[in-house]
Amino acid sequence: MDLSTHVDAYLDHLRVERGLSSNTLSAYATDLRRFATFAEPALAKRGDKLEELDGGDVAGFLVKLSKEGLSARSSARYLSSVRGFLRFLVRERELEVDPSALVEGPKLARKLPMYLTLPEIDALLAAPDATTPRGLRDAAMIMLMYAAGLRVSELVELRMGDLDFVRGTVTPLGKGSKRRVVPVADLALALVRRYLDEVRPAIVTELEKRGEKGNDRVFVSPRGGGFTRMSFWKNLRGHLLRAGIAKKISPHKLRHSFATHLVARGADLRAVQTMLGHVNVTTTEIYTHVARDHVRRAHAEAHPRGR
């Protein structure tokens, strides 16, 4: 019995049926092939029968990961990948029961997401020199990402048809090829409109002069190509330095900042869930903890008996 064959079938299911991105599929493949490498020798001793896979194999895999020095959070991610795989095998009637059902995951401390404060956001938005084409482009990208809570992949893949200046919305293509409609503040849309009017047309014209076909991405490089996540991150790091922000901020932290600032100001959690594109509201609930922490700090700093 080759467990890896079943892993490949599951990965095909994730790619075709659920439309997961190549990066997500690669992460699943790494986790599950590591599990298969661990479990196959034990199954070989039991006659190479898939139905012999049990909870001890899953628990033993977690023990091995722990001995190798993996953090509880990383081990929990592995367990989540394995559980999804085993449930798939149950649905496909390759297994009668899920062997991981009774396996307890590692206890995780609730990790609050890092985010930028409002003064830091103001400093970052002011960092690009909007009097230059590149500066205006970067200012529009950073402003739109923060204003709409976009993932960096959604930002760099944004198409012209995804912007609706009449309704004041953006419709990014999110995880699982699912779209959502997110309202965008007039200030952010005005900056994007400036970029589209003052910067992008010149790039398109140069492409046409060279006989090259342009693309319909909203944000393009000086040569007319699209951005990668890493190229945007590189630009963002430069603007963080110019803004005097010492925190280790990735593009995703702008998304955290968007959600944190909304929740801290009383936004409905379900509305924030919809804007972020979270499937489950429990994923969004972490921002309530951040908001409470913000309230506690405000109380400690402002109340006469707070200290």
Q: Tell me the catalytic residues.
A: 151, 175, 252, 255, 278, 287
Among candidate residues 246, 226, 239, 286, the one with its CA nearest the CA of residue 132: 239
54-89: b or e for each residue (b if 16 or more CB lie within 10 Å)?
beebbbebbeebeeeebeeeebbbbbebbbbbbebb
Query: 158, 184, 141, 149: which is closest to 278 by C-alpha?
Result: 149
Q: State the Cα–Cα distance between residues 275 and 180, nearest whole angstrom.
A: 7
Type of residue at 16: V
Say if residues 232 and 213 touch (Cβ distance below 8 Å). Answer: no
Q: Quote the radius of gyration of the chain (alpha carbons, Å).
A: 24
Q: Give the HSE-up count for residue 117: Cα atoms under 13 Å, Cβ half-sphere.
A: 10
Residue 113 CA to residue 181 CA, distance in Å, equals 24
Provide the strand spans (E) within 93-244.
Answer: 163-164, 169-170, 182-183
Produce one character per residue of 115-127: b if its CB has 16 or more CB atoms within 10 Å, e if not: bbeeebbebbbeb
Please tell me the chain's helix, strand, coil percentages from 3-state DSSP, rounded to the nearest 5.
Answer: 60, 5, 35
